[in-house]
Amino acid sequence: MKVSVIIPYHNEKSYIQDCLESLADQTFQDFEAIVVCDHCEEEAVEFLRGISVPFPIRILDMTDKTGVAAARNMGIRASQGEFLLFLDSDDYLIKEALEDMVERCPGQDVVYGRRRRTWYGRKVYYENGQKLDEQNSQPETDEGEEYEDRGMPEVRESDSEWIKVFCHMVRSNFTFSGLTALGILIRREFILEKDFFFDEDYKYFTDLPYVVRIMCATEKMIEIRKVLYLKRKHNDPIHLPSLSQISDEKTKLTEAMRAYVSIKEIVKGQEELAEIAIDGKFIKYYVRKIAPYYLTAEEQDAQEVYRQSLKCLPLISKNSGKRAMFYSRRLMKYSQSHGPEKIAKKVRRHSARQMFCRLITSKAACKKYLYRKVFSKMKIEENLVIFESFFGRNYSDSPKYIFEYLNKHYPGKYKCVWILNRKEKLPYSATRIKRFTLRYFYYMSKAKYFVFNGRQPKYFIKREGTVFLETWHGTPLKKLVFDMEDVTSASPLYKRDVYIQTRSWDYLVAPNQFCSDTFRRCFMYDGNMLETGYPRNDILHLEEKEKQELTAEIKKELGIPSGKKVILYAPTWRDDEFYGSGQYKFTLKLDLAKMQKELGEEYVVLLRTHYFIVDSLDLTAFEGFAYNASKYDDIARLYLVSDILITDYSSVFFDYANLKRPMLFFTYDLDKYRGVLRGFYINVEEELPGPMLFTTEEIIDNIRNLDKLEAEYKEKYDVFYEKYCGWEDGTSSQKVVETVFEK
Ligand code: C2G
């Protein structure tokens, strides 16, 4: 047996499958896996046993001890391979990892490949995770070179291969705490001869002294300059925090310092460069984590951390100190002769200076500061209501209809403020403000009521006595927040952010029972659920005559000839096609020229891209046939004028179904969208009230045979309508207003 892969496992069900599958896919197969179950729940062990793998696997149950260190030690003792490799159950290897390492292992004690940190599971990673990780550009890659570390030496200064690998390994981890034993192939006899086991007294930092001890005990060490190991960052710190996301600050800090003391002991007498490499990391850790801890810590905890720090600071070598930044040098010196309270004062003064610099150089920082420190201390205005739809992009959606209902039925009672970035005409008087202006922050502090259809900013302050009415913006087909496994959109910390934001919501509107149940789970929401239907769909239930008059008015407004029928094409956005957060790309896959040729006599096409899309479509070649309605305020009005809807995975079809008109689903990238990007809540093959189509020809064909299509889908449509539109009858705005404002 060439390699034993040792995997500690503690209930991380959603990750272990990827981990084991990555082993099954290895191009080198002479290995065994030893999974050590650390106090796992029965269900998690059953799940693990249910994963079938083509290689020998042993599942050990650790009952007497707990922790990663003990689990790995148990694995070492049980191993039979010539080499050992530590793999975490939430991580995975690239296909060639073992082959690449084994190829280079003759004559070596240690073979070290590189690690990369990723937000994604294997499937997404191989599809486009590398691109996504780069676009998210967290400065945490393990590849090192990009990060010039002031405290770190250039490895060039030494000729020794050992020091090169040592320095690379230390410098390539962004933080002090990131130095790990993961993904390193180590000769088993070497470990046993030297009695190298993990120190079980550590909960978080057992790897630090372990790795340094190994590196200092051998010069038979080789580095492969290729990413072999993928370390997953957890995008759901609420349900499944990684060890580094657990906030047990005092233990972490004291352990890190204990690890530093023992590392310094190990590197003593070794090359000075090695010492400087370690010191550089520790200095940063001290300045960023340890000293600021005193700002918020209880006195007893602060004293404990402080006592430990006094053992560490004198160990920093003079040379390393000289390489540190001015403030770091001063802080370290000061910390050796002053207690935690004084250190906290110094840190506070430094942050205040930094804040002052930010305030005089950044308007945005200045406004947020005023929001936090001044506006949010002012008196709340009792009848002030603030509305926002699609992040201020337009006057639309449920907030619009709630605003109109309030003004129509309670004229003058409420003072309304609209967050609007464009100059839309409003039918009732309201103060208009642009997002993130000074006035925006002022009104966000003064308002009593908030009527939003999306998420509020992360720094939003929920003041006591205020009422947050969240209408949300659609019945989801694609999985949301805590129902998503991988977060493939631009913000990988989506789950954590949404969790924080939803804590401020007092009321959430549900358009149907499915949403009511789904929202509770996917937002982890336990506030008031308004099971009223969507105010934005009231307009779809007007009396027939009113509907016809309004339709004629909207057609005129859009410049659509009254004799033409209208096809609305309203696709959604794709998580993986973006320029940046909230700025998405869109490529039109519908062949408009063909559609014009085949359907142009009878129809026109209204194109409506999602509000996240920043690409604007050039339709000049299709004048008189295709109209760009992407900037039009309210999509509900576009539904009214349309005879047919074409969409994909957008929630628009749940709303459009209120009109009982035909729908086609242009799902040209179904496999990727469903399988890789999101996953769906419903079985689209069974439930969709229209066909899923993959080419323009199929779309044309279906539009030509509408009668046949409608007859074919009649039964499905009725079931769909009952399930998703059954609560909507044109009175949702009234129900919402009466519950929230006029109780
Ligand atoms: N929308 C629009 N034009 C489009 C697509 C969507 O105006 N071409 C509007 C519709 O009101 C739709 C809403 O934006 O209901 C949400 O759009 P989705 O495509 O469903 O996507 P998303 O914003 O991700 O919302 O619970 C719903 C989910 O959150 C999905």
Among candidates 495, 474, 477, which has minimal Cα distance to 486? 495
Q: Among 71-80, 333-342, 373-382, 672-681, where is mean pLDDT lowest?
A: 672-681
Average pLDDT, the chain: 89
Hey, which of 610, 612, 665 would you mutate to test ligand 1's pocket, going by the most ligand atoms within 8 Å of its Cβ? Answer: 610
Ligand 1 atom at minimal distance to the Cα of residue 396: 11
Q: For residue 399, how far is its CA from the centre of ligand 1 (angstroms)?
A: 15
Measuring from atom 23 of ligand 1, which residue has the nearest CA? Answer: 473
Residues with CB under 6 A from ligand 1: 397, 472-474, 476, 480, 570-572, 608-611, 635, 650-652
Q: What's the average model confidence in pLDDT over 380-386?
A: 97
165, 167, 174, 168: which is closest to 147 by C-alpha? 174
- Residue 743 banded pLDDT, cuts 50, 70, 90: confident
Work out whether strand 184-187 and strand 110-118 pair parallel, antiparallel, or are unpaired: antiparallel
pLDDT of residue 679: 83
d(C-alpha 309, C-alpha 662), whole Å: 70
Residue whose CB lies within 8 A of the most ligand 1 atoms, among 470, 479, 509, 651, for a mutation test: 651
Q: Are 3 and 31 in contact (CB under 8 A)?
A: yes
Run of H or E including 711: helix 706-725
> What is the per-residue pLDDT for 157?
42
Burial of 360 (0-12, 13-18, 19+ CB in 10 A): exposed
Of residues 299 and 175, more confidence is placed in 299
User: Ligand 1 centroid to 611 CA: how many Å?
Assistant: 8
474 CA → ligand 1 middle, Å: 6
What is the pTM (predicted TM-score) of this model?
0.78
**Is the confidence at residue 496, as pLDDT, over 80?**
yes
Distance 213 CA to ligand 1 centre (A): 55
What digits encode the pLDDT tens for the residues 67-96? 999 999 999 999 999 999 999 999 999 999
Helices (H), 416-478: 438-446
**Residue with more model confidence, 742 or 659:** 659
The neighbouring-strand residues paired with 38 are 62
Q: Name the nearest CA neighbour of 273 among 153, 144, 149.
A: 153
Q: Which atom of ligand 1 is nearest to the CA of 515?
A: 26
Buried b (16+ CB within 10 A) or exposed e, 145-178: eeeebebbbebeebeeebbbbbbbbbbbbbebbb
Mean pLDDT throughout 184-208? Answer: 94
Total residues found in the chain within this entry:
743
Q: What number is the average pLDDT over the span 250-275? A: 87
706-725 and 513-522 are packed helices; what angle lies between their axes, rounded to 10 degrees?
60
Q: Ligand 1 mean position to 476 CA, how many Å? A: 9
Q: What separation in Å is there between the alpha carbon of 660 and the centre of ligand 1?
A: 19
Distance 610 CA to ligand 1 centre (A): 7
Instruction: Report the atom number in ligand 1 closest to the C-alpha of 651.
Output: 20
Q: Amino acid identity, residue 363?
A: K
Which residues does residue 386 pair with via DSSP β-bridges, in sequence order?
417, 450
Atom of ligand 1 nearest to the CA of 636: 11
pLDDT tens digits along 131-170? 655 555 443 333 333 333 444 444 444 456 777 777 777 7
Residue nearest atom 28 of ligand 1, based on CA coordinates: 476
Least confident stretch, 266-275, 295-304, 316-325, 733-742: 266-275
pLDDT in tens, 566-587: 999 999 988 777 777 667 888 8
Q: What percent of the chain has pLDDT over 90?
A: 70
Number of H helices, E strands in the chain: 30, 23
Distance 536 CA to ligand 1 centre (A): 13
